[in-house]
A and B are shown apart, each in its own frame.
Chain A
Amino acid sequence: MPSHAMDRAFTCAIWSAAVLVTSAFLWLLGDLVWHGMAHLSWSFLVSEPMNAGRSGGIAPILVSTLLILAVALAAAVPLGLGAAAWLAEYTRRDGALGQAVRLSLDVLAGVPSIIFGLFGNVFFSVFLGLGFSMLSGGLTLACMILPIFIRTCEAGLSAVSDDWRHGAAALGMTRAAALWHILLPAAASAIVAGLMLGIGRATAETAALIFTSGYVDRMPESLSDSGRALAVHIYDLSMNVTGGDGAAYASALVLIVLIVAINTGALALSDRWWTRRIATS
């Protein structure tokens, strides 16, 4: 029957879309593993780059990447949670100011990262005098991940049932207490999701960092040193260094493993915390 044939064709189309997307990712991953594994070793992770990165390792680059990420999260998480709480709990959903803030966040979320890089260079490096440093880079990344982080957390908070807000108010609890003890924990999964989106975007960022944290590949001594992030290193090796492809593949593999590890860790942590503290029925 024709309707059966239609249905079968439709099923096939759906399946092939899924297979296509998955295989593209697997192919990319396989390619990385295939080319990268040859270069990857323990000494690659713990030694300094030599000969513009063609040989040696990525130890200072790994350290810089993690430091930049730490700066970005240290700035973005408290600021983001505060802004999200304000949007979700302290302004009327249809208020003009709230709407203006939401609109600007949505516009900011779509701004290309190179613009953030230029802004970071002008504002953090030059105006605030932080120079080419991991501090500048981390703060620039914080600006970049804030819009999406705030909007995800706000959505999570707004999705929390009003029953708990009213219950807390009826017990004479302050709004701050309700937010801290009940609403934020209840929105934990959304907050972690926002955090993972942010971490993914921050660790993969190149353009915003070239102008802010620079590309010095020495081991950094403090946050005001310039530091080269992994993504910048990969870009440099594959674009500017002939014969750097092997090291670029290995670095890319490390970057992917790092992102997967951080995300898995965050997810597992929030899961454990959720079942211990909050729990479901």
Chain B
Amino acid sequence: MNTPKPELPATYTVGDVVSGPPCCEPVSHLRIEKLSVAYGATTVLDEVSLDIYRGCITALIGPSGCDKTSFLSTLNRLTDLVPGARVNGRIHFEATDVLDPRLDVLALRRRVGMIFQKPNPFPLSVRRNLELPLREHGVRRRDVLDHKIETALRDVGLWEEVRDRLDSPALALSGGQQQRLCIARALVLEPSVLLMDEPCSALDPISSGVVEKLIQRLRGRYTVVIVTHNLAQARRIANYAAFFWMKEHVGKLIEFGRCQPLFETPENPLTAAYVSGLSG
């Protein structure tokens, strides 16, 4: 029989947080080389180079307006949607050249999922929210759909809360539940990278805490790149941190490294001032 095999260890499928598997490895999953982004004639991000390591959580920190979100959007080519946006440099994702104009971006986005600042479940039922992307990518069989949907919802700890109302509107869920549904919607496509643009900033503190623990639980299985303005959160969850800063109205990467040293013994005085709360 062709029953889909559950691809997750049991510890991930229920309730409380079990801390991630043997963490991440310093193996490059996304290699970014001299990446620049411009909107029209205005350069907003200049020559950023860094490695995103497999299975790790990399936090992008820095003041608002230094285009960390633009950086994030280049990684799944969502910048394509912005009229007049130009991206230069190189991004290697496994064996893929992300910026290759001939690349199948739909396939890329399936493997590089994205979570937005404001929860954006579609105005459909909970079930349809997860089913729609799956169907779009060719999954049609009812039993496979149901299994994948349940797995994704269990993964984000939402199954028990919504199992009885899968067919009710997703927009009736609370903000935190909506954001976890959006994470489930990304996970259901089995991506290997998750890009998160301040996923907790629109949530109340309790929901924010739940989502934060969920993100920690994703470590090891997914490569996570998260933009956050919450430095304490970055310290709690990230393995690596990248500090961005505006220089002459252009966003630049100032310092990148393991999270703890970056926060405790930063090399650059700008980083030191920012993480100690003296600037930014």
Enumerate chain A interface residues (CB-CB to B < 8 A). Answer: 92, 161, 163-174, 177, 181-182, 185-186, 277-281
Contact = CB atoms under 8 A, between A and B. Distances in A.
B120 A172 contact: no
A170 B133 CA distance: 10
B169 A170 contact: no
B169 A171 contact: no
Interface stretch (B24-32, B104-112, B220-228): B104-112
A171 B185 contact: yes
Nearest first, the 6 closest Cβ-Cβ pairs linking A and B are: A279-B169, A172-B109, A163-B120, A170-B114, A172-B110, A172-B106
A5 to B, nearest CB: 48
B103 interface: no
Contacts of A278: 123-124, 169
A281 B109 CA distance: 29
16 contacts: A92-B83, A164-B123, A166-B120, A167-B182, A169-B81, A170-B113, A171-B109, A171-B136, A171-B189, A172-B189, A173-B106, A173-B136, A278-B123, A279-B172, A280-B123, A281-B172
A172 B133 contact: yes
Contacts of B172: 279, 281
Interface string B54-82: 00000000000000000000001010010
Given A172-B107, A173-B136, A277 B116 contact: no
Interface residues of B, number: 31
Contacts, number: 80
Given A170-B76, A172-B189, A173-B136, A279 B123 contact: yes
Q: Which secondary structure dominates where chain A touches chain B?
A: helix
Contacts of B171: 279-281
Contacts of B254: none
Contacts of A164: 120, 122-123
B103 to A, nearest CB: 12
A178 to B, nearest CB: 9
A168 B105 CA distance: 13
Contact of B132 (A92, A161, A181): A181
B168 interface: yes
Contact of A166 (B78, B123, B136, B168): B78
B137 interface: yes
Contacts of B124: 181-182, 277-278
A169 B113 CA distance: 10
A172 B137 contact: yes
A184 B128 CA distance: 16
B118 interface: yes
Contacts of B186: 170-171
A281 B169 contact: yes
A170 B79 CA distance: 11
Given A163-B120, A171-B133, A172-B133, 8 more contacts: A163-B118, A167-B122, A171-B189, A173-B132, A181-B122, A182-B122, A186-B123, A281-B169
A91 to B, nearest CB: 10
A177 B123 CA distance: 14
B183 to A, nearest CB: 12
Contacts of B120: 161, 163-164, 166-167
A87 B78 CA distance: 21
Nearest to B84: A92
Contact of A279 (B108, B109, B133, B168): B168
B81 A173 contact: no
